[in-house]
Structures are given as structure tokens and as C-alpha cells.
Amino acid sequence: MIDYRSYEQSDLLPICADRGVSSVHSTFPRDGTREFEEINEFRYHLKATREHSITSGLPFYPESYQGLGAIQRVVPKPGTEVVLTAVAGRSLGEGELEHPALIIGKYGRGKVAFFASPIAWGAPQACSIWGRLGEYHQKFLAQFALWGIESK
């Protein structure tokens, strides 16, 4: 994970503080056992805060699991918008806490975004619908890019 703390006071990023990283290091399920059924309780998942062109047509928690292993805990700047939050699985000891995961804003005449998890998710988990059907990752990144070049 990239350390953005040196940029916290930057006008460019839509965040004003970094509260550290929450990482999950768990094993991956090997078969249809209890380990497989409960793996998503040990990961972070994305939850849409409202309809947005970046998230349109994509399944998010609780409809589907994304299985993120790391979330950078950040504080959005005033005037920005949180499009996605990261929800901790119940077994992470964080209860139902949510952290901002995708923050968008404006900078000058352009748009800026901060995604608080590594984009290089690596080999997807077999139990993650997003991993099994890789097109969700592709659609998310494509819509993210299209939002960035929209003239609105």
C-alpha cells in the first residue's frame, strides 16, 4: 500500500487525514467447508452510499462480497463525497464499522478521487463473486475512468 501521509495537506487529494491501514491476513478457503462459508466475515467489503455513475450496475455488499484485505482509514475533506464505504466483516472485531473507501471531489476544473485500498487486488479469492467473475473489476475501473473524463 502506498503511504499517502506526506500528501495529507495537499490540495489535490480529497482527503485531509490518514488514520493508518487496517489489514487482514487470513487464509483462503480450500473447499466447501466451514472455512469457506465464513471467510467473508474476515474481510472488508464495499458498500455503495448512493447511486453514482462509477458504481452503476455493480453488486456491492451485502448483495455480494469483494473480499478486500486492506483498507486505508482516511478522513474525507469537507466538500467531497464518499461514494463507497468499506464494511468490516463481523469477525474482524470492528463490529459494523464503515470506513470511507472511495472519495471523490473537484480540483480546479478537474475531478479527483481517492480509493482507499490497493487497486492491484491480485489473484481473487475463489469465494468472492467479484473475483470469480472478473468483469466486475473491469467494469468498476472502466466506469471510474469514464467518470474522470466526463465533462460534467
> 152 in a domain, yes or no?
no
DSSP character at residue 90 = G
> 19 in a domain, yes or no?
yes
The pLDDT, as a whole number, for residue 45 is 81
The pLDDT, as a whole number, for residue 132 is 46
Q: Give 10-residue mean pLDDT values along the chain (152 residues).
A: 56 76 52 51 80 92 75 88 85 64 92 82 51 69 91 73
The pLDDT, as a whole number, for residue 18 is 66
CB atoms closer than 10 angstroms to residue 129: 16
DSSP character at residue 68 = B
Domain extent at residue 128: 5-147
Cα separations (Å) of 59 from 55, 74, 128? Answer: 8, 24, 12
Number of domains within the chain: 1
CATH of the domain at 62: 3.40.50.880
Whether 78 and 17 have beta carbons less than 8 Å apart is answered as no
pTM (two decimals): 0.74
The pLDDT, as a whole number, for residue 57 is 92
The kind and range of the H/E element at 108 are none
The pLDDT, as a whole number, for residue 29 is 45
